[in-house]
Amino acid sequence: DEITEENIIASALDKRVAEAQKKLYDDAVSTADKGQYDTAIAIFERLDSYSDSAKRATYFGIRLSEEALTNSTDLNAVQAVTARYAEMGDYLDCAERVAAMTAKATAILDGKYDAALALKNEGKYDEAIAAFTAIETHKDSAEQIVACETAILDGKYDAAMALKNEGKYTEA
């Protein structure tokens, strides 16, 4: 390479651009560390091709989605955020975020299971069946559905037998 004034100027500009990008990147990391994800995302998106900026923008977008679910019991939304973290593999703390979101999903399912069990225990079998069906793969929900269906049939049988014992054969 020939040393020319143009090459010297271009090299100096490249160096200044790289320094400015690094400063912006470091500022974005610091901003994200303070929980100001919106601002950090905007900076990372502007730095798109610098270092892992695009990936960090995606990651902090997922963090925003997770924060929005802090008090939520929306199982589908929790599972969607969990899947987005899982797609990022071992990037930053994604594995830990997957574990935390999986625990949150399990807690939601446990709450729904307990509510369905309460309905069953109150004799509200049709409602319990609907509730257990919504979480059919969680714990023993499938078995609980069968138990509710059996309880409904047992109730019908007992009612029919009572009518029969009273001599009300056509009603039985």
Q: What are the tens digits of pLDDT across the range 4-40?
A: 988 899 899 999 999 999 999 999 999 999 999 999 9
Reply yes or no on whether the pLDDT at 164 is more than 90: no
Q: What is the pLDDT of residue 1?
A: 63
Cβ neighbours for 97, distance < 8 A, ≥ 6 positions apart: 62, 63, 66, 85
Q: What is the pLDDT of residue 2?
A: 79
CA-to-CA distance for 50 and 22, rounded, in angstroms? 8
- 125-142: pLDDT as tens digits: 999 999 999 999 999 999
Q: In which band, very low, low, confident or very high, does the pLDDT at 169 lie, cut at 50, 70 and 90?
A: confident
Reduce the DSSP state of residue 73 to 3 states and report it.
coil
Q: In which band, very low, low, confident or very high, does the pLDDT at 3 lie, cut at 50, 70 and 90?
A: confident
Segment 76-100 mean pLDDT: 97
Q: What is the pLDDT of residue 156?
A: 87
Dihedral, CA of residue 143, residue 147, residue 149 and residue 153, to nearest 10: 150
Q: What is the pLDDT of residue 168?
A: 83
Least confident segment among 47-51, 103-107, 147-151: 47-51
Cβ neighbours for 50, distance < 8 A, ≥ 6 positions apart: 21, 22, 24, 25
User: pTM of this prediction?
Assistant: 0.81
CA-to-CA distance for 86 and 13, rounded, in angstroms? 39
- As a whole number of Å, the CA-based R_g of the chain is 30
Q: Write the CA distances from 169 to 152, 159, 165, integer angstroms.
A: 21, 12, 8
Sign of the torsion formed by the C-alpha atoms of 121, 125, 128 and 129: positive
Reply yes or no on whether the pLDDT at 118 is more than 70: yes
Sign of the torsion formed by the C-alpha atoms of 165, 168, 170 and 172: negative
Closest alpha carbon to 18 in 58, 47, 55: 47
Reply yes or no on whether the pLDDT at 103 is more than 90: yes
Reply yes or no on whether the pLDDT at 158 is more than 90: no
Closest alpha carbon to 80 in 61, 101, 95: 101
Closest alpha carbon to 103 in 68, 75, 140, 144: 75
Reply yes or no on whether the pLDDT at 146 is more than 70: yes
In the chain, how long is the greatest CA-to-CA distance?
Answer: 114
Reply yes or no on whether the pLDDT at 166 is more than 90: no
